[in-house]
Copies of this chain bind each other. A is one copy, B any other.
């Protein structure tokens, strides 16, 4: 059985669901501490702790004497493509294919729950693919998907539609976050990518949102000598 969630996390998840589902729009006032405490049968301090965390994470804003409100997230500007590795490969005139190593439903552990913004122990989709360019592995993709937003994800034939395409088709992608670093990989990963463990690799963690919903969390590993990441930014105002 899954570990029972601490009360304050239960409250957080309840609030996040309301926010992320859109039931509570921006600037909506959430129930006051005392009410939340009563609803969940906990002390006011526990409700306070739950709210406090979400304020620090930017989901809520508070004002003494007034109440607690859903944060109105302000927009930023630039563009970056959600690039599709299959198109990329084909645009170079090469053959694209992939191998599916894993395709499963798992219970979210701490890390996944945190990164994907779901409840601990809740079911999430997990796939692991190797993408090939002309039979050379160029990317290991480890992806976690929130089933709520892409229910048919696991049934896809990924050689017809890449995981990325499935997401894009399922919901409009509005926000993407990338974290890129260089690192060495473990033996298993090295084998999948047909490299050795001394080859520098590019690690890219990509999180994808649709509105307020976090759709997917992916870790992409590229052998350093087989991949370059390119991005162009144009700022009309500058």
Contacts and interface: CB of A to CB of B under 8 A. Distances in A.
A222 B76 CA distance: 20
A191 interface: no
Interface stretch (A36-44, A84-92, A229-237): A229-237
Contact of A80 (B183, B202, B233): B233
Contacts of A179: 76, 228-230
Contacts of A234: 75-77, 174-175
Nearest to A207: B232
Nearest to A78: B80
Contacts of A178: 79, 229-232
Contacts of A188: none
Interface in A8-41: none
A14 to B, nearest CB: 19
B231 A80 contact: yes
Contacts of A172: 238
A235 B180 contact: no
A215 to B, nearest CB: 12
A182 interface: yes
Interface string A91-113: 00000000000000000000000
Of A179, A180, A229, most buried by chain B (CB within 10 Å of CB) is: A180
Contacts of A225: 183
A166 interface: no
B177 A235 contact: no
Contact of A224 (B57, B80, B182, B235): B182
A173 B235 contact: yes
A181 B229 contact: yes
Interface of A: 53, 56-57, 74-80, 172-184, 198, 200-202, 222, 224-225, 227-236, 238
Nearest 9 CB-CB pairings of A with B: A182-B224, A200-B200, A182-B182, A182-B200, A182-B202, A180-B229, A76-B234, A181-B228, A80-B233
